[in-house]
Amino acid sequence: MTRTRQHGVRVAALVTAAVLTLGACSLPAEPVPRPAATQTTTEAVEPVTKSPAPSPSPEAADPLGEGARNVLLIGTDSRDASSMGGNADIIMLAHVPADRERLYLVSFTRDMHVPIPGIGEGKINSAFSRGGTPTLVDTVAGLVGGLEIDHTVQANFNGFINLTRALDGFEVDNKHHSTVTVNSTGRVVDFPEGRITLENTDGLIYVRERKRLPLGDLDRTERQRAAVIGMMDRIAERIDDPAFVAELVALLYDNVKVTGGLEVEDFVALAPMAAELDRDDVVSLMAPITGFGTVGGASVNLVDEAQTADLGEALRTDTMDEYVGEHGTGYAP
């Protein structure tokens, strides 16, 4: 794989995965306005000062540096368009291996019952609402054996709808047919099995649906990863259009919070290289569970401790190819 191709895979996947976290809240009423979100979280943060978005430069250095990198993608369930608080209902780790030959997207189902450092035990998505971003980072890192998480990307749902519109929709490979009735309008949305196009608010409905899927929230995490891949493809198709790139940059500035020394400019600087991405370079999987149970009256997903230990070892030693070779990418318990 060429250096340009390596950069394209990383940037397109991280940009689209970052904005996918915007789809984490409950389904909105229709039509949805297009406000610019104010960046607020459960933690105290400095006011955000907007500045003109930079022009992408294909000559920019690799912002991720050398070696493997791990980026935690967080999407909250806040109904407030200006808030990034609430529960973290999308928790996805993007693992970029040192050889840059693949990118791995690892979902953590929101109902996984896990230790939460400094708090006790509970569903993994509550770590954010109870302790903010640092606590969620510590929780995920501890679950996979002390993995170093280099960056976080956090957002809410409005930008997901805006991105879908900016892309003029995107395609996904839909594994399970489902039909959803939007409560606020009564509109019926049908998602047939196979390759489908998601436009406007239907993209958000697609990644939020779980009740009519065979494995519920497990299938929902697969849909979220499928949307990342579909968005990557769509960005690759349009990355040579300066007007599109400018709109994408503005959207990220308005809707995404990045921590860990990585700035929106770092994503943007390599965006023109995304045209070289390949869908097969992204590996989609889920942190393993053994099944479902009840703890304290709440329904939870039970962690497969043995396989999760293998996953953590693979992430820490940058041997995810070996992990996938042994365990595959299936997620049914």
The one-letter amino acid code at 226 reads A
Average pLDDT of 19-40?
39
Is residue 121 scored above 70 in pLDDT?
yes
Angle (CA) 77-19-167 rounded to 5° is 125
214 pLDDT more than 80 = yes
Residue 86 has pLDDT above 60, yes or no: yes
Residues 218-238 have a mean pLDDT of 87
Q: For 275, which DSSP code?
A: G
105's tokens: 């997207």
Mean pLDDT across the chain: 78
3-state SS class at 17:
helix
138 Cβ contact partners less than 8 Å away, ≥ 6 residues apart: 117, 118, 127
In the prediction, which pLDDT does 291 show? 96
Assess whether pLDDT exceeds 90 at residue 166. no
User: 273-293 pLDDT, tens per residue?
Assistant: 444 557 788 899 999 999 999
pLDDT in tens, 229-278: 888 788 778 877 888 777 777 777 766 777 666 665 665 554 544 445 57
Q: Quick one: average pLDDT of 309-330?
A: 98
**Two tokens, residue 135:** 């606590």
CB 12 within 8 A of CB 141: no
> Pick the residue with more confidence: 120 or 48?
120
> Of 170, 180, 182, 153, which Cα lies nearest the Cα of 32?
182
Omega cis (within 30) before 63:
no
Which helix (H) or strand (E) element contains residue 310? Answer: helix 305-317
Please state, in angstroms and as integers, the Cα–Cα distance from residue 294 to each residue in 150, 307, 311, following that order.
33, 21, 24
Residue partners of 292: CB distance under 8 A and separation at least 6: 299, 300, 301, 302, 333
Q: For the chain, what percent of residues have pLDDT higher than 90?
A: 43
Q: Is the pTM of this model over 0.75?
A: yes
Domains by residue range for the chain, with CATH: 3-171+197-325 (3.40.630.190)
- Model confidence band, residue 34 (pLDDT cutoffs 50, 70, 90): very low
Residue 158 and residue 319: Cα distance in Å, rounded?
A: 36
Q: What is the pLDDT of residue 116?
A: 97
Q: Tell me how far apart the terminal alpha carbons of the chain are, to the nearest angstrom.
A: 35
